[in-house]
Structure 1
Amino acid sequence: MFYFIPTWNQNHTDWELEFLEWYYTTKKMEFDDTVNQLMMFNQAKEKNKTIILEYAPMLRDFLQRQDLYDIDYYSIFDDLQDTKVENVRPIDPFEFDWPKNVKFIYMPFNILAEVNRKLYAQIISGNLGQLQRINFFEEDKTTKTYIFDDRGFLSSVVRFNGDGQFEEQIFFNLAGEWRFKRLSSEEVIINPLFRDEFKREKYAAMRELIEEKYNEFAQENITKDDVIVIASEKRHNQRILNAKKSGRVILSIFSQRLNIEQDFPDETELAKVDVIVVDTQQNEKLVQEKLNAMNVSIPVLQIPPFDSRLRLGKSQRIKELKIFVLVDKTPLAELEIIIDEISKAMYKDTKINLMLGAYAANQEATGKLDKLKEKILNRLNLTEEEIEAIEKAENQIESEIDKELIKKARFFRRITFYRIESESEWIKELNFVRLIIDMGKDMDLYLQIAGISAGIPQINSTPSPYVENYKNGMIVPDVLEIKEAINYYLVGLKHWNQALVYAAGKIVQYSSDNLISLWNESLELATAEGEKLDE
């Protein structure tokens, strides 16, 4: 059995998974190495279980977004709160015991409850419409927050003092009885009614309570022949690797989660690790250097975390040649040069379309999108209002001058200014992209993973572990040479097909079955070396 222990928390704490309101976005992609590994193990029908250590009342929402809804998992907090339930039931917030004179006001992003024309509560829903949270107010200050589990029950209540500062968080079971509470001092108090289910009456921090339950689970379920795959993160490593070892351990390092230079495990923690998996060649080199410096011998595997939600070759199904340009990390002046070259190609070939993309949460990047739109309109000597008017009157236009305006309007409509709101929506867009351009000095990791997962060639300014020159993309250090790279992949299908075949080979190389074989071979090697040292 393979046990996966992810770390999906984006919070400042090390024990809870933060879920923003559905209308907020984050610069960070949710996809990571563990998501990839779980997808591959499920595809291979290899027996596995995921151990969720974080408090995650909206866990099913997250798993659904990552196509992992059917995974087998054990949740520490389901155990701690006694909330093991599989059935999902909807909660109607209007059935609660509201004041008689309450008035509900439907806003674009939530529902407000007013009493005597004063804000009384704020009802917040999740991505799928399920009740996520209710904030209560007095004199415009938050007094308490009800946090709901996406399976349909009240999970915890957060209380605040008169100054709006955190006071305590109370965790409930399915019967509405409080099991334990976290105080402002971070101390955790156990309800005396359930004292016999815990080893202590109180804990210095939530971390200690989680570690206690994890150790119990590991001792009761994980054998020496099982494999534990740990998503490496500083706090996560300390929590798991400092516990009594159960089974064989694979440490999985993902670039956007662990700073190898600063937070690499020490010798004591590494003593419990059998194999290390990294996502890039650069990380493989860094890890090997760290191990050599400590005189520690552990097999290191470099396995790219492909996103199997993307499929190869879908852009062949449409006649348009869609170019995606990520603007976030590329200077505005260079973007103008890139757009100018693509525009020339668009005038020659009407099948070429351009998508300029930026993370919605990155205000600087979305500001670039606005500036680029303005510059393109200025070059066309038109406004958006004028373009709309031209489109409406297109059937009545006969003069040559007006026909030229139609061409300009149609050209502008072939350019999309795309704000990346969510990972799932972006995946849909990338499925039909023919070429990716990211000329930032620090390329976007997820975009590169997505590119190779979908077999889309990429043009970058600096070398990368995921893009090999003239194989699945081109490295163009000087933006003035971008024209040659664009033509290389858009003029004819030969080079584009070569990139697709190369990407397909890479994905096959790290397919579900091969991934499992690589891990098992490395574990056997580590076991054999360990036995030699024991002799």
Structure 2
Amino acid sequence: MLYFIPAWYKKREWCESEESWRVKRMYSEFDDTVKQIQLFHRSGGYDYQIMLLGFSPNFRHFLHRQGVFRVPYWSCFDAIQEVRRKKAEVLSFHDLDWPEGIEFLYTPFVVAAMLGQEKYAQIDFAEDGNPIWVELYQNGTIFRRDLFDDRGFTASMIFYENGQPAYQDYMTEAGIWKLRRYDKDGHVEINEGCPEYLLECGGLRETRQFSRITYENMDQVICEVLSSYLELTDTQDVFCIAMHNLHAKLLGQALKGKKRILSFYHDRYQISDDPDSLEMIRSADYVVVDSKDNAKKLQSMLQIPADRLAAIPPYDTRVDEGLSLQSGLQKLMMAVDGLDSETFGEAIRILGGYLPRKKGARVHLFTREAGYDSKQRLLERTRTELAKNGMPEEWAGEAGNDIVSENGLEEDGKVPVLFVPEQCVDELSVSKCMREQWLIIDLREVPELYLQINAISFEIPQIVWKKTEFITDGGNGIILDRLEKLPQALDYYLDGLEHWNEAKIFSYEISKKYTTERLLEMWGEVMDSVG
């Protein structure tokens, strides 16, 4: 059995990141574990299971969004709360225990429950339409929040004092509190009336009793229940761990003697001096990273033998023609997140001098920042650089009329928009945006892996600052050694289709190295090595 231990946490808390549908998603859900599970889900070559350590009452909806709804999993908090239900169930807020005389007020975003003239409660919903939580009020101040499990019961209650969280109860399906965590110092109490937890593994089901009634923190509770579950697993089982600072130390202790694959993704895990974590990394059976650059960095820092280290991209290529030729514009995507101010300013100056003489060319300033004002701040930053170089600030604006005349002015005589902010947080919106681009400009020291893989899939050229395994200079892109050469690189791909089509063909050849089938082969080699 292969166990995937993900890092799907809300920052550094042992819980999911699920939010009300009305709150803008501030993060991307996709990571290396999602791709690994998708690959093994499609292949059917290995028995596998997710090992979920955090409290995730909406986990079925998460799996559905990732296209792996029927993936088997074991949940530590299901064991703690003795949850036996497996399937999602419909829960109506009308079926909750409301006081006599309650009246529901429907708004475009939430449902408010009114008792007389006072607000009694507010019901929030997830994007699937299921109630996600109910907040209860006294004298206009919140005193409790009930969190619902998507399997149709109250999973947890957060109690407030003076409007601030005081403690949180984790409930059984029958509505009995099983575990209570206090916010002040993080210590945990077990309900003496039901001090058992439930273990299910390979058709075996048994209950065990907590070793204590009080724990210093939630880590100790999770470690105890996890260790008990691990006793039921086989010695040949393999554990693929998404490296994360929240659970690194805990898993370093709990998985001693077990076969382990460690998976590093972007900057999710910061290597520390913690001896348990370092020992886990050095003694791992295999280490998988998302790129060759990161593999070199990790190898130099921790001296991991080359035969126990592999670079497997968390994204696969899928040939897609894209829509760039169908547009009357040549859209140039320029990634700006993490780009230093000096390079950004110089790029805007160069592009500002270049674009007016290129009919139909426009730069899309690409950001994955989720803030509501991210686009506006990006516009202001661009306008400042334009003004500094004596160029019209109006060149930076929202996308409007795409028809421009030969002299660079819009048909109605207005100043054209040449720099447009493009905000894409999740991978779906990124792919949708990239489908329309003519080429990618990424001048950062570390280009974004997802953009590079997508550019290969859409067969569009890339202009980058740093060489990676996904770029061949003069093939599917150009590697700049000086920023002043950016106009020549742009001319190479914008003046006619000859070089653009050459990059298209080259991208197609590179894409063969990172197909779903090839990634599965890479993982098969890792599994054979560990097994």
After TM superposition, the score normalised by the length of structure 1 is: 0.80
2:201 corresponds to which residue? none
Aligned partner of 1:356 among 365, 371, 375? 365
Q: Determine whether 1:282 maps to 2:289.
A: no
Q: Determine whether 1:368 maps to 2:378.
A: yes
Deviation at 1:283, TM superposition (A): 1.9
How many residues get paired? Answer: 504
2:194 corresponds to which residue? 193
2:238 corresponds to which residue? 227
2:16 corresponds to which residue? 17
Tell me the distance in 2 between the aligned counterparts of 1:23 and 1:479: 42
Query: Does the Cα contact within 8 Å between 2:410 and 2:416 map onto a contact in 1?
Result: no
Please tell me the residue identity of whatever aligns with 1:406. Answer: E
Instruction: Give the SS at the match of 1:168.
Output: strand
1:158 corresponds to which residue? 158
Please tell me the residue identity of whatever aligns with 1:469. Answer: D
1:138 corresponds to which residue? 138
Deviation at 1:230, TM superposition (A): 0.8
Query: Does the Cα contact within 8 Å between 2:27 and 2:426 map onto a contact in 1?
Result: no
Deviation at 1:299, TM superposition (A): 1.3
Superposed CA RMSD: 3.8
Query: Does the Cα contact within 8 Å between 2:145 and 2:158 map onto a contact in 1?
Result: yes
CA spacing shift, 1:77–1:411, aligned 2, 3 Å: same
CA spacing shift, 1:149–1:487, aligned 2, 3 Å: farther
Deviation at 1:229, TM superposition (A): 1.0
Please tell me the residue identity of whatever aligns with 2:131. Answer: L
Deviation at 1:275, TM superposition (A): 0.8
Tell me the distance in 1 between the aligned counterparts of 2:486 and 2:306: 44
1:70 corresponds to which residue? 70
Deviations 1:462-482 (A, max 9, x none): 445544433433333544432
Please tell me the residue identity of whatever aligns with 1:74. Answer: W
Identity of aligned residues (%): 26
2:323 corresponds to which residue? 315
1:424-463 to 2 correspondences below 5 Å: 424-441=428-445, 443-463=447-467
CA spacing shift, 1:522–1:515, aligned 2, 3 Å: same
Instruction: Give the SS at the match of 2:62.
Output: helix
CA spacing shift, 1:438–1:263, aligned 2, 3 Å: farther
2:172 corresponds to which residue? 173
Deviation at 1:417, TM superposition (A): 3.9
Query: Does the Cα contact within 8 Å between 1:245 and 1:272 map onto a contact in 2?
Result: no
CA spacing shift, 1:238–1:323, aligned 2, 3 Å: same
Query: Does the Cα contact within 8 Å between 1:44 and 1:512 map onto a contact in 2?
Result: no
1:299 corresponds to which residue? 308
CA spacing shift, 1:274–1:458, aligned 2, 3 Å: same
Tell me the distance in 1 between the aligned counterparts of 2:397 and 2:272: 49
Deviation at 1:287, TM superposition (A): 1.9
Deviation at 1:483, TM superposition (A): 2.2
Q: Determine whether 1:213 maps to 2:225.
A: yes
Tell me the distance in 2 between the aligned counterparts of 1:200 and 1:222: 24
Deviations 1:49-75 (A, max 9, x none): 221111111223323333333322222
Tell me the distance in 2 between the aligned counterparts of 1:84 and 1:415: 55
2:473 corresponds to which residue? 469
More helix by share: 1
Tell me the distance in 2 between the aligned counterparts of 1:498 and 1:357: 25
1:325 corresponds to which residue? 334
Instruction: Give the SS at the match of 1:62.
Output: helix
Gaps of 5+ in 1: 392-399, 528-535
Query: Does the Cα contact within 8 Å between 1:337 and 1:480 map onto a contact in 2?
Result: no
Deviation at 1:154, TM superposition (A): 1.5
Query: Does the Cα contact within 8 Å between 2:181 and 2:187 map onto a contact in 1?
Result: yes
Query: Does the Cα contact within 8 Å between 1:8 and 1:17 map onto a contact in 2?
Result: yes
Query: Does the Cα contact within 8 Å between 1:40 and 1:511 map onto a contact in 2?
Result: no
Instruction: Give the SS at the match of 1:324.
Output: strand
Deviations 1:65-92 (A, max 9, x none): 3333332222222222233434322222
Tell me the distance in 2 between the aligned counterparts of 1:453 and 1:151: 38
CA spacing shift, 1:484–1:5, aligned 2, 3 Å: same
Instruction: Give the SS at the match of 1:368.
Output: helix
Tell me the distance in 2 between the aligned counterparts of 1:217 and 1:505: 46
Instruction: Give the SS at the match of 1:235.
Output: coil
Instruction: Give the SS at the match of 1:49.
Output: strand
Tell me the distance in 2 between the aligned counterparts of 1:233 and 1:85: 29
Tell me the distance in 2 between the aligned counterparts of 1:380 and 1:205: 54
Tell me the distance in 2 between the aligned counterparts of 1:208 and 1:177: 22
Instruction: Give the SS at the match of 1:221.
Output: coil
Tell me the distance in 1 between the aligned counterparts of 2:274 and 2:122: 40
Deviation at 1:364, TM superposition (A): 5.2
Deviation at 1:380, TM superposition (A): 9.7
Please tell me the residue identity of whatever aligns with 1:369. Answer: L
2:199 corresponds to which residue? none
Tell me the distance in 1 between the aligned counterparts of 2:275 and 2:433: 36
Tell me the distance in 1 between the aligned counterparts of 2:306 and 2:509: 30
Instruction: Give the SS at the match of 1:54.
Output: coil
Query: Does the Cα contact within 8 Å between 1:474 and 1:485 map onto a contact in 2?
Result: yes
Tell me the distance in 1 between the aligned counterparts of 2:153 and 2:518: 42
1:396 corresponds to which residue? none
Q: Determine whether 1:237 maps to 2:256.
A: no
Q: Determine whether 1:268 maps to 2:279.
A: yes
Tell me the distance in 2 between the aligned counterparts of 1:482 and 1:85: 59
Deviations 1:418-477 (A, max 9, x none): 332544333322234332223345544543454345444332334455444334333335
1:244-263 to 2 correspondences below 5 Å: 244-245=255-256, 247-260=258-271
Query: Does the Cα contact within 8 Å between 2:57 and 2:149 map onto a contact in 1?
Result: yes
Tell me the distance in 2 between the aligned counterparts of 1:507 and 1:2: 28
Please tell me the residue identity of whatever aligns with 1:254. Answer: Y
Tell me the distance in 1 between the aligned counterparts of 2:425 and 2:172: 35
Instruction: Give the SS at the match of 2:310.
Output: strand
